[in-house]
Amino acid sequence: MIEIIGLAKKFSVENPKKLSEQERKDPRLKGRFFHSVIDVSLTCTPGEVLGLLGPNGAGKTTTLRMLSTALKPDSGSVSINGTNVLSNPVIARKKIGFLSGSTGLYGRLSGRENIEYFAKLHGMSQGQIKQRIESLAELLDMHTFLDRRSENFSTGMKQKVAIARAVVHSPEVVILDEPTTGLDIMATQTVLSFIRGLKELGTPVIFSTHHLDEVSELCDRVAVIDQGLSKFDGPLQQFTELADGSLHGAFLTSIEQGK
């Protein structure tokens, strides 16, 4: 189980005069600080898939980066199975599998070598690595390109390797930032099937998306963020009830709440 309470993060703005008119109108801009995330809370229990929704610039990626310990929050708490992971980032990285918005593969390495490198960072033995990569290659349909240099991969190939790299150490929680963006239909279905497999294993999964059909197909819970604030966090059924079963309507309704 992962529980997030009251996360907040602000960034300094070196020169506010250089901001666009839209950026200057954002209520989160206060003096020389932009409060990207003001107050975000959400929960995801074992075997649940949580869809994180919000408009562009809402603070979703900043929230996910704080969960992964890539960013240190100004306030708030993150616990995984009762352990406060913010106080010990090393423990957090063992417990969390994180896919960022950018695959960030080493182009001169093969797909297998990219995954092996991160597996070794997690202290896995060569035997464990070989067995785990074989399993992931089967689940993510990577056998045809796994030993090619990743600089020549398609977007879908890169994303599959990046996902495998993120979960090679069998983490307790998996966090995916828009995992299907830019993928074709076949690659998207492979990724969605992989997420279903994590759910069957009892692994909590948090993933951000702009595709409401993915939410309908996969999610048990929904969390909505707008302008750095939590607007909704609850079961999918409760979310759809905001607008008589319409996910699109429910999303718009949740954004309007509190305004």
Residues ≥6 apart with Cβ < 8 Å to 251:
53, 212, 224
- pLDDT at residue 259 is higher than 70: no
Tell me how far apart the alpha carbons of residues 224 and 51 are, in angstroms, rounded to a whole number: 8
Tell me how far apart the alpha carbons of residues 90 and 48 are, in angstroms, rounded to a whole number: 25
When pLDDT is averaged across residues 27-36 and rounded to a whole number, the result is 92
Over residues 196-250, the pLDDT tens digits come to 999 999 999 999 999 999 999 999 999 999 999 999 999 999 999 999 989 999 9
Q: Domains along the chain?
A: 44-73+93-256 (3.40.50.300)
- pLDDT at residue 132 is higher than 90: yes
Over residues 66-93, the pLDDT tens digits come to 988 889 999 999 999 888 888 888 888 8
Sign of CA dihedral 35, 39, 45, 47: negative
pLDDT classification of 258: cutoffs 50, 70, 90: low
Tell me how far apart the alpha carbons of residues 215 and 56 are, in angstroms, rounded to a whole number: 17
Predicted local distance difference test score (pLDDT) of residue 91: 83
Averaged pLDDT score across all residues of the chain: 92
pLDDT classification of 15: cutoffs 50, 70, 90: confident
pTM, entire model: 0.92
Over residues 140-170, the pLDDT tens digits come to 999 999 999 999 999 999 999 999 999 999 9
Predicted local distance difference test score (pLDDT) of residue 199: 95
- C-alpha radius of gyration, the chain, whole number: 19
